[in-house]
Amino acid sequence: MYTWGNYSSGKQKLLYGSNLAYQVASTPFGHAESGTFGDPNATPPQTVQLSADGQLTPITPPACSYVDVAQPPATTPAFQTTGWYIVTATYLGFTTPPGAVYMSTAGLPATTTNPTGECGAQPTS
């Protein structure tokens, strides 16, 4: 993750270093469609780990916070989120608005609209 500072002069600056700290909420919002959400601040972390420098790493047990809501006669999936973690960054006493982090580390069951069991939309290139 990256955190940008927007200054009153209009200048933007990429923030880093010991004055920047990231936090992830211990309770996810919603639920995982596959796998189980867990406390990222537990020892050891469950589902996701956020390092002090903003590296977000999925860990076992894998989870997917998307569901395929497509209905026949559709032939392609239509993904909808079912859960997420909230992440903030604090720099010199200023805290960012919360941002959502969605999980897509485990597959969904294969269906006629999602035959490969993808979890969430796939990159197009």
Instruction: Evaluate whether residue 114 is within a structural domain.
Output: no
Calpha distance 117→113 (Å, rounded): 9
Q: How many angstroms from the chain centroid is the CA of residue 26? A: 13
CB atoms within 10 A of CB 63: 24
The total domain count for the chain is 1
Instruction: Evaluate whether residue 21 is within a structural domain.
Output: yes
125 confidence band (pLDDT: 50, 70, 90): low
Mind listing the pLDDT tens digit for each residue in 12-25? 999 999 999 999 99
- Report field, pTM of the whole predicted structure over 0.75: yes
Calpha distance 105→87 (Å, rounded): 18
* Range(s) of the domain holding residue 37: 3-101
